[in-house]
Amino acid sequence: MHLCQKCRERLSYHGEADAETHGVCDLCGGLLEHIEDYFNMFREEALQYEFSTFLIGVKARNDSIQKDIETIAKAGGKIRNYKEEFQFQLGSMIEERLHYRADFRKPELTFTVDQENMGFDVWVRPIYVKGRYLKKRRGIPQSPWIKPGRGKEAEKSVSEYIGQQVCDSFGGRNYNFFASGREDVDALMLGTGRPFYVEVKFPRRRETDFPSLGARVLSTSGGGVEVIDLSLANQTEVEEMKVQKPDKTYEVGLVIEGGEVATIAEKLEERKGIKISQRTPNRVLGIRKDKIRERTIRSIEIKSFEGNNLVLVIRAEAGTYIKEFVTGDNGRTVPNLRDELDVNVKIEYLNVLEVKQGI
């Protein structure tokens, strides 16, 4: 067995190791003799990222590490195996000379050396930014919109307006955008906004100036998308947002034909807790499976009425198709407002006013 000087010292080896100084160490494969080189590679990589904690990882060769563990067992002492020795020595060197802090639980940067090819890999913990967005112009889809044969729509999406700016401000490589539900492309998102988060991958920076980030989202979207309450989020908060099913409050502008708005208003007064049954709407049948879903309309209030115009504020359970509750979608949603009121209703506009968990 050929051992490098470092492994000999580590194992206090006096046995059968040959005296050759050439060749690769049968245990660490040369890792321990090249710690200074890996330190330099780490320092070079570290220049690219802002971080304070790190972890050294080693992908050891199975046969080598087994042999090492067996040799240690024979020696019978408390000796670190070469993987632990490498982590310990490189880690200490980085802490002492570069003043980063080793963190075994949630390191911001992980530097992993692969014994197989002696190369290394850097992983940077993603940054999560949470906030709420308002959509102030109709026609902006929430996510990039691809129509068969037409390619991407000209109008950028909410996720791109927000995600790209957040990603850039942290110097990220790419990003993921997640929002708590979505509004229709022609609906506004107003009031207190819709919760979202952005995951920024391989961020070069871990802090940013949130007010100016918000200002950039607003200006690049031409005033169409506004973000509020921006802050860093941890992974737990992000996971929670994924499973929440918040209620939504909508403002619906209607034109009524064939009935007295005043009488209708009377009929609608104090309506609460209407159970409805919705088949997948006609307009999304091509992209969603046809099924029946039960949902609850929590409340309906009249905001205003004048002439043929009626403005309602409707609060509904997550996942309710609100347009179809109003129009009935040719009997696919029952009960529905059109049937209940026995008039023709036309939707003038739809705005989302609030997205709120646990009402």
Closest to Zn ion by CB, 7 vs 345, is: 7
Burial of 62 (0-12, 13-18, 19+ CB in 10 A): exposed
Stretch that binds Zn ion, among 13-21, 31-39, 164-172, 278-286 (CB under 5 A): 31-39
CB of 54 to Zn ion, least distance (A): 23
**Token pair belonging to 186:** 């022609």
Give the whole-angstrom CA distance, residue 359 versus residue 354.
11
Number of residues in contact with Zn ion under rule CB under 5 A: 6
Site for Zn ion in 11-30 (CB under 5 A): 25, 27-28
Stretch that binds Zn ion, among 32-40, 86-94, 276-284, 305-313 (CB under 5 A): 32-40
Residues in the chain: 359
CB of 102 to Zn ion, least distance (A): 22
Q: What are the two backbone dihedrals, phi and then psi, of residue 205, each rounded to the nearest 5 degrees?
A: -120, 155
CB of 45 to Zn ion, least distance (A): 24
Closest to Zn ion by CB, 24 vs 292, is: 24
Residue 200 as a binder of Zn ion (CB under 5 A): the answer is no
Give the whole-angstrom CA distance, residue 175 versus residue 172.
7
Catalytic positions, written as ranges: 184
Sign of CA pseudo-dihedral 112, 116, 118, 121 = negative
Residue 7 as a binder of Zn ion (CB under 5 A): the answer is yes
Q: What are the two backbone dihedrals, phi and then psi, of residue 29, each rounded to the nearest 5 degrees?
A: 65, 15
**Following DSSP, what letter does each residue of 149-197 receive, concatenated?**
TTEE-SSPPHHHHHHHHHHHHTT-SEEEEEESS---TTSEEEEEEEEEE
Residue recorded with tokens 């109709």: 138
Closest to Zn ion by CB, 49 vs 86, is: 86
CB of 24 to Zn ion, least distance (A): 9
Stretch that binds Zn ion, among 3-11, 133-141, 185-193, 291-299 (CB under 5 A): 3-11
Fill in the DSSP letter of residue 265.
Answer: H
Closest to Zn ion by CB, 23 vs 222, is: 23
Residues in touch with Zn ion (CB under 5 A): 4, 7, 25, 27-28, 32
